[in-house]
Structure 1
Amino acid sequence: MAFFCQKDSYATELVTEVVSCSPAQLKTENGGKKETLSGYNVILKDTVLFPEGGGQPDDRGFIGDVPVHRVTRQGPEAVHFALSPLDPGSEVLVKIDWNRRFDHMQQHSGQHLITAIADSLYGFKTTSWELGRQRSFIELDTPMMTNEQVETVEQLVNEKIRQRVPVIVRVITTDDPEFNQVRSRGLPDDHAGPVRIVDIEGVDANMCCGTHVANLSDLQVIKLLGTEKGKKNKTNLIFIAGERVLKYTARSYSTEKSLTALLKNGPEEHIDAVEKLQKSVKTLQKNNLTLLRDLAVLTAQSFKNSSDRSKVFSLHRKEGDNEFMNIIANEIGTEDTIVFLTVGDEKTSGLFLLAGPPGIIDQVGPRAAKILDGKGAGKKGRFQGKANKMSQRGDVESLLQEVINGSALKEE
């Protein structure tokens, strides 16, 4: 069955009838957080909303005033997931999110065109593709693609766009002789009935269930951004088409303006300026690390040379690291001294280290980690880890003093 959206990719609304509505759940991911929505699966007599398929994501839109959060194909039916129920038998107006739909049409038709040109020029077969949120890629069955080949494909696909080549959707049966001649990666296992052929006149004929532009001129422009290594000795060709090229250009220009203002030079000098800054930062980091190590040694020596030094040495330094803490602990020595060191933010997260007689550290290490709302591990008189409540380090100091006062450490 061909849905209305497949018969007319440019239709933005459709009056139809609700066939069924049943409780359902939808697993989603929002901002990296997975959640399950409770709602309803709605089947309509026909739909203007495209269910995902052929590498193309599904549409978004409304049934009446009820938002549609997902559209999937189950056999011959398109299933719409909504959070509110709809009455079976009722007449409804279905509207699509046109910006999302047209973007998908541009990327999908662009993929067909790029695939056809890459195949005809170099014999690079498409094995899969992905329509991403900002950019898409075509997986080509070749271990590499040269810059010259990428440029040639880009020139030719844009030439076809300028030629305003028609894109015609036809329907054939599986016993039609043409069925075995058109390009295809196979039909779904549950497919039944006629087959849609998307024909870019004189360029390509391919089986596809997706929505497409009626003329290559609607693609506006295609930009091939480059290649990256794909799976199993294949190459991913990255591209954007249509409105995405305009948005990409706007973002790139905005970035260029910001870099020009920050670096105080022209765009052609940005790379050299950033490379110089990176070298300077590496030098500063190296010098800072050397100074931090020297400071650790001096800090430890100052404590050791003190005539009235305590049996507990405690220090927090925002700029330190694990190496800084371990140098201090090594320099002080922990046979008769407990060393408690922390680095990072004074109130929130950071690193901590406890060093001292193994019997005491084994006892207080886990307790200190709990006080600091952190986790750690240790052995041989050392316990270190990450803390989330550095503001509680005073409580750890109190704990250490209590342990010292009640311990069997030998008085000097």
Structure 2
Amino acid sequence: MTNKLYYEDPYIQTFSAKILKQTQDYVVLSETAFYPTGGGQPNDSGTLNGIAVTNVELIEGEIRHHLATSLLANTEYVEGAIDWKRRFDHMQQHAGQHILSAAFDNLFGFKTVSFHLGKNSSTIDLDVNEISAHQLAEVEALANEIILENHPIETKWITEEELAQYKLRKPTKVKEDIRLVIIPNFDYNACGGTHPKTTGQVGLIKILQMEKQKQNIRVEFVCGARVITHLQRKHTIITNLINSLSSPEEKLEDAVHTLLNNVKMQEKQISNLNGLLLQYEANELIRNTKGTILTANFQNRTIQELQKLAKLITTESIETLCILVSQNEDRIQIVAARGSSVNQNMKELIEKILPLINGKGGGNNTIAQGGGENRISTEQLLQKSLEYITA
């Protein structure tokens, strides 16, 4: 592999290099301080001759730098500059991941199977089905203890034959140019990422949450400056809640529970009132209908409301067949239902009606429904339905 400068010293922020290859899409340099995406870590950003580097990737043994605009024609050398804020953030997160993964392994034997360094937080997937809150707390405490003790973070290039001398946290598939990242007496891991020189520079690790991912547990965390950012965001939210709920912080949880319980009670009351309104509406439609076929035309009624209304009507009046339609913007909804004394198949009726609106639906011989395009008016749809019924 060429271009190992980014491996050697992650604190290099500027460099000079010769252009080895230049295409319309990317350039390859004689050496580079830019880290290419890989190992769960995103690429560095920065500039080449003042032009923004938008992506860096390792393909076919060469590190390709993608630029926002092309370099000037016949450019032979470039001056590179790394976005240090982004670089150091990635160094903190990646080293923090090593510490966290080693803590899970050393304390409980939980192995890390994947790592993702995200924009706002990072995650590791562990090959375990369950982790307790107590175990998370132990791991977080050990990880921050290792940071506070400010151990050196060393790198070493070794051969495949030398691997046996080190107790690696996980096996490596690399056969040559093996780079170890070492926290002495705590973690030994093959890695090509960027890391600070000491654990103390990681600053702090905070586990945010965990969730089940197929056969693994995914742990989300933040390190370093991201902990402050996360804390500030939480502080802002809590301050706003304190002001909105007129409650001190220590009683916020109780205030939220009270509010949620009140909302549930109100939702139940609204549901009961809506039921009474639908019952009243059903009775009015029955009272104002002459004969045994009831039709009604609505605007912006959900299919669920139409179904409830149709069931109330046909339960109250067992000799009634009802067809209810509603126009909702560019869609038409239709429900057909019959009372127990009516001898007509509602599913067959809907299947005849739906092609008129290029619709889809379903149901049974007692009640059926569907929806489709606003091809004809709701009045025309009701008229066609009546024609099918009386045919």
State TM-score, norm by structure 1.
Answer: 0.78
Which residue identity lines up with residue 62 of structure 1 in the other structure? T
Query: What is aligned with 2:298?
Result: 315
Which one of 352, 355, 367 corresponds to residue 333 of structure 2? 352
Matched with 2:15 is 14
* Matched ranges for 1:174-213 at <5 A: 174-176=160-162, 181-188=167-174, 192=176, 194-213=177-196
- In the TM superposition, 1:228-307 aligns within 5 A as 228-232=211-215, 234-306=216-288
Residue pair 1:21, 1:85 contacting (<8 A) in 2 also: no
Shift of 1:73: 1.5
Q: Deviations over 1:32-59 (max 9, x none)?
A: xxxxxxxx13322222211122222222
Task: Please tell me the residue identity of whatever aligns with 2:381.
Answer: L
> Please, which of 92, 97, 102 is the counterpart of residue 116 of structure 1?
102
Q: Deviations over 1:366-406 (max 9, x none)?
A: 434x6xxxx5314558664467x9xx69x623423654797
User: Could you tell me which residue of structure 2 aligns to residue 26 of structure 1?
Assistant: none
User: Is the 8 Å Cα contact of residues 297 and 327 (structure 1) preserved in structure 2?
Assistant: no
Q: Distance in 2 between matches of 1:4 and 1:409?
A: 85
The one-letter amino acid paired with 1:4 is L
Distance in 2, matches of 1:274 and 1:302, equals 41
What are the equivalent positions in structure 2 for 1:369-384 lying under 5 Å apart?
A: 376-378=360-362, 380=365, 384=369
CA distance in structure 1 between the partners assigned to 2:107 and 2:389 by the alignment: 84
Decide whether aligned partners of structure 1 residues 246 and 181 sit closer, same or farther in structure 2, where only a CA change above 3 A counts: same
- State how far apart, in whole Å, the 1-side matches of 2:384 and 2:305 are: 25
- Aligned pairs for 1:113-192 (under 5 A) are 113-176=99-162, 181-188=167-174, 192=176
Structure 1 residues 131-187: Cα deviation after superposition (integer angstroms, max 9, x where no partner): 233222333344444333333332232233223222122222233366654444313
**Equivalent position of 1:64 in the other structure:** 49
Give the alignment of 1:383-402 within 5 angstroms.
384-385=369-370, 396-400=377-381
**Is the 8 Å Cα contact of residues 69 and 81 (structure 1) preserved in structure 2?**
yes
Partner Cα distance (1:303, 1:231) in 2? 52
SS at match of 1:296: helix
Distance 1:252 1:348 in 2: 42
Identity %: 28
Name the aligned partner's letter for residue 263 of structure 2: V
Measured at CA, do residues 229 and 88 of structure 1 come closer, stay the same or move farther in structure 2, by a change above 3 Å?
Answer: farther
3-state DSSP of counterpart to 1:175: helix
- Which residue among 317, 325, 342 is the counterpart of 2:306? 325
The answer to whether the 8 Å contact 1:17/1:89 transfers is: no
User: Are 2:335 and 2:370, in contact at CA under 8 Å, matched by a contact in 1?
Assistant: no
In structure 2, the residue matched to 1:74 is 59
Query: 1:272 Cα shift?
Result: 1.9
Instruction: State the secondary structure of the residue aligned to 1:118.
Output: helix
Shift in CA distance, 50/177, structure 1 to aligned 2, threshold 3 Å = closer
Aligned CA RMSD, in angstroms, stands at 3.4
Matched, 1:96 2:82: yes
Please give the alpha-carbon distance, in whole angstroms, between the structure 2 residues aligned to 1:181 and 1:307. Answer: 85
Partner amino acid, structure 1, of 2:267 = Q
Q: Scaled by the length of structure 2, what TM-score is found?
A: 0.81
Contiguous gaps of at least 5 residues in structure 1: 24-39
Counterpart in the other structure of 1:44: 29
Q: Say if 1:361 and 1:381, in contact at 8 Å, map to a contact too.
A: no
| Secondary structure of the structure 2 residue equivalent to 1:70 | strand
User: Residue by residue, what CA displacement relative to the aligned partner does 1:300-359 show, whole Å, maximum 9, x if unpaired?
Assistant: 2212212669964112366xx44431232234459886633438xx6578x822427857
Indicate if the aligned counterparts of 1:365 and 1:383 stay in contact, CA closer than 8 A: no
**Is the CA contact (8 Å cut-off) linking 1:59 and 1:71 kept in structure 2?**
yes
Q: Which residue in the other structure is 1:36 paired with?
A: none
Question: Does the CA contact (< 8 Å) of 2:306 and 2:335 recur in 1?
Answer: no
Which residue identity does 2:43 align to in structure 1? D
Aligned length: 376
Relative to structure 1, the CA distance from residue 75 to residue 185 in structure 2 (aligned partners, 3 Å threshold; closer, same or farther) is: farther
Q: CA deviation at 1:216?
A: 1.6
CA pair 226-292 structure 1, distance change in 2 beyond 3 A: closer
How far did 1:275 drift? 1.9
In 2, the alpha carbon distance for the partners of 1:16 and 1:337 equals 83
CA separation of 1:67/1:383 partners in 2, compared to 1, >3 Å: closer, same or farther? farther
- Unaligned runs of 5+ residues in structure 2 are 338-343
Distance 1:186 1:308, change over 3 A: same
Q: Aligned-pair distance for 1:266?
A: 1.5
Residue 214, structure 1, aligned to residue 204, structure 2:
no
Residue number in structure 2 paired with 1:339: 323
Maintained 8 Å contact 2:182/2:189 = yes
Distance 1:385 1:67, change over 3 A: farther
Superposition deviation, residue 240 in structure 1: 1.2
